Chains A and B, each alone.
Chain A
């Protein structure tokens, strides 16, 4: 069966090659294997990377992130101008932009989309837009965003996926009584201005996107983007199977390659093993409240214990064992790709003796017991905890591992009913405000549900949200990091790149540190 198909394909190929076609054009069909399928393709109401990384190919935002993820470039907006008092921004919109079905994008679509994204009742990402008061259309190509307070990060926030521009009329015409219901029905046939348009979706099997013929963007040479004719996303949950499919040539690309296989795929002459710098940080979250949920005393409430725990982990060895040297050590709780990150020296260099003396000072010379929640079936989390378990046993900390499934862990975590857990984090915006608001700013979610609180840090953070001077802001974030990292309620382990592998024939794929899969410049060579 395969031989027949192969033969037919070879014949077709031979014919195609001999035809005097536009030989220099890139294009083709890309089959990409994912570990899980999307759930809801709506930029505002979705809640997972599996959705975000697809919607960024269907929809555009006013500004687009640059390839290094640190800055923004024009997208559906071509220019912006801040008022002197910083309380309003005038955005010039790109002309001639059409949605994938040919209808033109208007300033009304922009106003409606941004207000929908900023609405506190909609989805979970509106916190990035809390400064927005209202959006006004002043001309067919201009919108003015009025703010409640100065916001140094607004333009970057307008490059985040939840501010994507949707067609207001088509959306409002979708069946559904509430906004969420409309989002559901509209998301079954998404319509955006992005490089690709939605074709079909068979859940957990495959999702097909095709080139948006009306796309506004051209490449540096003036050629119309995107190059690809079609993308098909297939869902292969098992890592080993996904890689086998890639090696067999049945898919052109596969995401989330396990660390253990990276070296093997690098050595494969048919494959291109790519490691994209990311904002992904991996750490252990500690409950630092005075007592646990059951009333027993919590040793980690003592900052010396937390410091000891940090010093007792040999991060370099851990990176070698768990990630096979693919990951890098951290200098702060933020990744090195996040703006304003502290870069002075590694965080808590390995020092077992210091750990032991700190524990003794805190009264735990005879050791202590602690339990950590891990995600059932995650080889990475098991590897991390097995290694930490081994290292901590040298200083008298007895770690017990408890694998639970995702809902159990999330429920316990949110209720503060845990001692420790393995965690990961990726930024959604190229600014440290998001990560700090979750990790260190206690009013939000009690500092990642750890119960850690520093009132001074809270004040500095609130001030930084309105600070327009970059230099002052950098100093504020340095202060926040210094305070947090003194005796952090977490144990930073490593930052890891996105491991994606492609067949050698695939060119031009980009994954930015924020995680977005950028297919606009990708092509498959024949």
Chain B
């Protein structure tokens, strides 16, 4: 049946109302997007192609894309971007922890819980006073922060969940630049509260560390390095066991094992001990040979190819990051006597002013921001959707709190976790621009904190190579697209597992 006159009129009115929005979308999003896609395959250069320069535009095919993988800036800034994303698993864990805490009913425990919080506050105040007496609180900022913590505890004790939920969400609705400036002050090498807290601890450690012989330090460092092997081997064992039991599919097995293998290979450039290069490589080869052996032997229970994909991304990804942390820790430990033996002893990091510490500094800040973010809200929403019957059944079976978490909460939140992880990866790939502008003097020191998003801006508007900058943008888009497809393909399925 055709539309009547009134229907047509309503349609026209409706279209008229959404027209401004559509026009805006076309003018500022859709059309520029199409043009930028076109530009990525051309030699569009502001010096040749602008309103006054009409040189013929050359179609260069995939030249821009090929060139970017040979440009050291692109590779360095891609590396920086990926490095800053190492904090994502910790951010996800932190926001889950925050959501679990905020999901507790603070009033349920009655006055006992309130008194506990008041007691904690008193302990904190006493601890701060003692530290101040012993010189740690040289800056008023340290005392102020500790006092604010105390106040928060008291307010939480009285106001309950809603106070904490509001406070934890603060990082999300505070303007980015304000937060960055605040963190810049926190990271101030000599006057910042972070170093005021760290330096006294280092002063205590210094005599002990300087008394260590280089031999002992190297031995301890290599023990820490060996822990990477333990973690990786356990990861391989867990993965193969789950594959055999039909808990994970073959594709997820491979992805998980690739992630677990990365730290073993990176010791070649990150570890100064030659034995580790060969031993770690041998373990990697052995691990993969075993894997192929197990695959050939077959398994007891079949599973679809991509079952357990989130397990591969989340847990194996976490093990990979832990592996990296052990390698980094081993390096620090090996250098400890030399660092402690200097005239100044062990010094707190110079954070943003230091080539090696600038990236970790941003990573820590990102971790803080991730805890009290929309991720936490998503987890809170997810927690409220878990059927209480499952917990009741677990209680009847005598489950411990950890068992309740591991067997009920964690699997039930799997879809939320997967979504958060994917969105965090997308955010991580696109991030870093504001931080580079505000905190680190345009991505310094010496490009240590320049990310891809800043590189695109710089290539487009500083050098005028718009074609090339578009190619970088679309490469970034491709990365984001792959991650999104991954979510689309596996996100829902993981919920069912």
Binding between chains A and B: no
Chain A residues within CB distance 8 Å of chain B: none
B: residues with CB less than 8 A from A are: none
